[in-house]
Amino acid sequence: MKDYGALLKKYHLKATPQRIYMINEIEKKGHINIDDLYESLKKSFPYISLATVYKNINAMVENGFLSEVKIPKMKTKYELTKNEHAHLICTKCGALEDIFIDTQCIKDDIIQKSGYTIEKTLIKIEGICPKCR
């Protein structure tokens, strides 16, 4: 298990047992929505409220510790902030996976064609996962 306490402090976040648990769960699942996270938290913290989960998640998103993953037709999922990556989504089972690709050539192409400065790249690829194929 990683030292999430120290990691939280680096982001100026208080390392509460609930937060450590949340981060472990997010790391384990890769991406998780609030409802699933809440269900799992209740096993260890029976008195935790959904509002508390939201409050903690929002604080961690604000500090950049967590990132939101918004996928149309799906509940917003959360993941630990990682290096830039694309998301693969299975249209059959809804699996969501990270795929680390080099987006620099896409960015260069877009900058050249549009003259924009790019702040953020969100890449989502839909397909059928190996399990569903």
Binding site for Zn ion (CB under 5 A): 79, 90, 92-93, 95, 98, 129, 132
Tell the smallest beta-carbon distance from residue 45 to Zn ion (Å): 26
Residue 111 or 125: the one with the smaller Cβ distance to Zn ion is 125
**Burial letters 80-116, b for 16+ CB under 10 A, else e:** eeeeeebbbbbeeeebbeeeeeeeeeeeeeeeeeeee
Tell the smallest beta-carbon distance from residue 84 to Zn ion (Å): 10
Tell the smallest beta-carbon distance from residue 30 to Zn ion (Å): 7
**Burial letters 12-38, b for 16+ CB under 10 A, else e:** ebebeeebbbbbebbeebebbebeebb
What whole-number distance in Å separates Cα of residue 107 and Cα of residue 120?
A: 10
Residue 9 or 75: the one with the smaller Cβ distance to Zn ion is 75
Tell the smallest beta-carbon distance from residue 21 to Zn ion (Å): 20
Residue 68 or 116: the one with the smaller Cβ distance to Zn ion is 68
Residue 49 or 126: the one with the smaller Cβ distance to Zn ion is 126
